[in-house]
Structure 1
Amino acid sequence: MADGFNQEEGDSENRIHIMNDEGQIVSKRMVENHFTIPEPDSEDGRSGINKQPEEWLPITQSRKGNSWTATFHLLCSGIGTQTLSLPLAFVYLGWFWGILCLCVAFVWQLYTIGLLVSLHESVPGTRYSRYLQLSIAAFGVKLGKVMAIFPVLYLAGGTCVMFIIAGGGTMKLFYQLMCDDCSSKHPLTTTEWFLVFICLTILLSLFCPNLHSVSLVSLFGAIMAVGYCTTLWVMMVAKGKVDGAVYDPSKVVASDAGRARSTLNALAIIALAFRGHNVVLEIQGTLPSTPNRSSAKSMLKGVRASYLIIAMCFFPVAIVGYWAFGNKIPVNGGMLTAISTNIHHNASKPVLGMIYVQVVLSCVSAFQIYSMVIYDNLEHAYVSRTSHECPKLVRMGIRIFFGGMTFFISVVFPFLPSLALLVGGFALHLTFGYPCLMWIVMKRQPTSIRWWFTLGLGCLGLGLSVLVIVSGVWNLVCRGLDANFFHPR
């Protein structure tokens, strides 16, 4: 009798009670989905199986960060060479619309960062420390993976490729600047400079097993990024305007179709200047969280501090750059190309050399943050298959493999920067669209004004992504493509 009672009590946890048409309560057994964890073969395996897999992966291995480290990561990942193209957007939009669009984009992306930070611990006891995890929680397993896994990995890997092209190319510029009178008859080719750059990043990554361990590197990279932005606009103020600078957008293009295309290009340049949203949740995942103090408080401090500094970089570069060069801003390369050509002979070598070095070191540092997303996914695949932590040798192999892969892509497709609008548009919704849509799905407050506002913002974000892709395709049709496969210049 007792055994029957115990069996019935155990089964009751898997039963559901419903009322039939006659008013009687009927108990039915629920169908269970079983997931079996394989038995470890050794005593070490039995002790390791109890350890949380989150503690094995690079993103969440260490949660000892604070608002300072979050600020360093956000600054290092948020400022890049794309900032130097902002004056080009003003060439197409003019003063008023250029400043207005830049302000709107800045506030918009800052709002979506706030949404991501608030969703990190939106479910009590659960932390979404990866963009993909939050997407799955919001849209379900199948749809969440379809909507996020490709854009997240594509953006992280593609950004690393862009770092190689920008960093390696700038190293070549630095060498040419400092060694134009050198006696070497065999200077390094651009491909070899790419190789030097990726070797530096791989070597540095071997000493950074997890995202928190990159904190000092991020601090250094943030100083370099803020440094070259500040040095550039201060130098332009000191040098003054370029002769013949014009500030009339109507004189840049004559036809209506050309003006429409240039306007789309300007919006795309401004939108793509803001980056790093695909690593915001990962950065917050390095912060500790307790019942008394959630990670959101420390993260929001880091967001406020970092984006105040980012604004102090973006707006002066855009405004002063346009003031100094007007419509003479180069289409490819932005301010970095401008200072290498227009005022090359008027600026001192040490100043230009310092800017080049800062750009290279900033790219090397930011590479560590974005590549950590790829390392985390590859190590997660290993842990899922073996139920063991990644050995150091495997981690080293993953970093060398990814570095070699990105180097190969940068050599095969060295013209990717000329397709920045097209390739960037495919992941732009991660910044302006998806955070809004994930928030409205998880909050479910249709009666709230903020809910409807965020829904509209999310739809606009998806539309903006489509417009940027259209702009990239339109440019490709009008300008063509100099596809120098395997021949970086």
Structure 2
Amino acid sequence: MVGAGVLGLPYAMSNLGWGPGATVLVISWIVTLYTLWQMVEMHEMVPGKRFDRYHELGQHAFGEKLGLWIVVPQQLIVEVGVDIVYMVTGGKSLKKFHDLVCQDCKDIKLTYFIMIFASAHFVLSHFRNFNSICGVSLAAAVMSLSYSTIAWGAAVDKGVQPDVQYGYKAKSAAGTMLNFFAALGNVAFAYAGHNVVLEI
């Protein structure tokens, strides 16, 4: 799964370092691949029945009522959190684009850009299924690959700079540890995809 979380990987790598960063990326990839494979296998584990929603899978595993109480709260927390992150990030991106394109224009609050992005999300959320928004999915995949390629291409082109400090940014052990945990969160966000795999 490729998404906007990829943009956080350079920052994560700067806080993890080459060795731990590469190790965390590979371990995250293995865990993500294995758990996604498990979910795909469970999708049709009962002959003649498909589990297209997480709560259905939870109800099959834990029972009719307990399955809902275990799965739905966790799913809501993840979905609401991801939606908030994407709306704020999308609003910031729209504002940045507006400020770059129209430097002489009146300054518009970030809140309005977040509301514009959220409105687009609201409209897209009312489409029937993923096939209805395949054009949006294609554009998102192309953009994700494009900005990833631009990021590493620009880094390779620029090369090692003589006046840049490439060590950890934090000046204290506690700061380095907190940045390390923040970087782990960035990597986890970059490997998202479980929230839609059953529906796909």
- Name the SS of the counterpart of 2:197 in structure 1: helix
**1:110 alignment partner AA:** L
- 2:118 aligned partner: 198
**Pair 1:79 & 2:3 matched:** yes
Of 202, 205, 211, the match for 2:130: 211
- 1:124 aligned partner: 47
Unpaired runs of 5+ residues, structure 1, are 1-74, 284-489
**2:147 alignment partner AA:** Y
Alpha-carbon distance, 1:242 to partner: 4.7
Distance in 1, matches of 2:157 and 2:68, equals 51
Point out the structure with max Rg over C-alpha: 1
Q: Report the RMSD for the aligned CA atoms in angstroms.
A: 2.2
- The change in CA–CA distance for 1:191 and 1:227 in structure 2 (over 3 A counts) is same
Asked if structure 1 preserves the Cα contact closer than 8 Å seen for 2:28 and 2:188, the reply is yes
- 1:108 aligned partner: 31
Distance in 2, matches of 1:254 and 1:149, equals 40
- Name the SS of the counterpart of 2:166 in structure 1: coil
- 1:252 aligned partner: 170
Q: Count residues with an aligned counterpart.
A: 200
Please list every run of at least 4 consecutive aligned residues from structure 1 whose deviation after the TM superposition is greater than 6 angstroms.
none
- Name the SS of the counterpart of 2:165 in structure 1: coil
- 1:268 aligned partner: 185
Asked if structure 1 preserves the Cα contact closer than 8 Å seen for 2:6 and 2:144, the reply is no
- 1:404 aligned partner: none
- 2:144 aligned partner: 225
Of 8, 18, 25, the match for 1:95: 18
Q: Deviations over 1:431-475 (max 9, x none)?
A: xxxxxxxxxxxxxxxxxxxxxxxxxxxxxxxxxxxxxxxxxxxxx
Alpha-carbon distance, 1:146 to partner: 2.0
- 2:57 aligned partner: 134
Alpha-carbon distance, 1:243 to partner: 5.0
Q: Deviations over 1:207-259 (max 9, x none)?
A: x322321222211221122112212221232233455333334x73433x444
TM-score (norm 2): 0.87
TM-score (norm 1): 0.38
- Name the SS of the counterpart of 1:176 in structure 2: helix
Asked if structure 2 preserves the Cα contact closer than 8 Å seen for 1:131 and 1:282, the reply is no
Unpaired runs of 5+ residues, structure 2, are none
Distance in 1, matches of 2:151 and 2:180, equals 25
- 1:403 aligned partner: none
- 1:238 aligned partner: 157
